[in-house]
Amino acid sequence: MDISYIQLIVLIFAAILIAACAPASTSTPLSTTAGFPTVMSGTATSPPAASPSPHATYAATAVSTSQPATGETQIRVTIKDTVLIGRLWDNATARDLIAQLPLTLTFSDFNGLEKIASLPRKLSTDGVPEGDDPLPRDIGYYAPWGNLVLYYGDVGYFNGIVRIGQFDGSMDAISSQTGDFTATIELAN
């Protein structure tokens, strides 16, 4: 089968277009929360389907380099009598937070999208991106202020945000807090 010069040019052009449309970041399956129960008011519940992402590609959610797929550490966040289960990823910032656990922090609402708390000391940001675009249910660190952040809404990309983990289920116990509240964060093991 002979390919004409024009057909060859069209094939090359099509390959370039396809390559240009491919995602630049790594991606993980949407079912990353499978297998981790969430305890709310003493009742185990299954995690909800993954939150929609404005960066969804090929039935996957874009993942920042601040979110390695291995080496996760399970944590427990207790607010009054409600226990939430989450995971901290294996990056310098999360490891630095783990070294400070257990912590009892006072959180306050910020812009109706996230709850923030000051940490006793700033965390390492070695090897993480300049910024990130956290998703609802993400656990993050805002480096310029030294805040631990629990995201329940879509804040968009900002420099200084480091994604360090994610909750495995509903954020209702966090998003429903109307004023300042205290939460204890500790290793789940």
pLDDT of residue 4: 74
At 50-98, the pLDDT tens digits run 333 333 222 233 344 444 446 899 999 999 999 999 999 999 999 999 9
Residue 152: closest CA among 185, 182, 105, 114: 114
Between 4 and 181, the more confident residue is 181
pLDDT of residue 106: 98
Domains of the chain: 28-187 (2.40.100.20)
- pLDDT of 107 above 50: yes
Give the Cα separation of 38 and 36 in Å (integer).
Answer: 7
pLDDT band of 6, cuts 50, 70, 90: confident
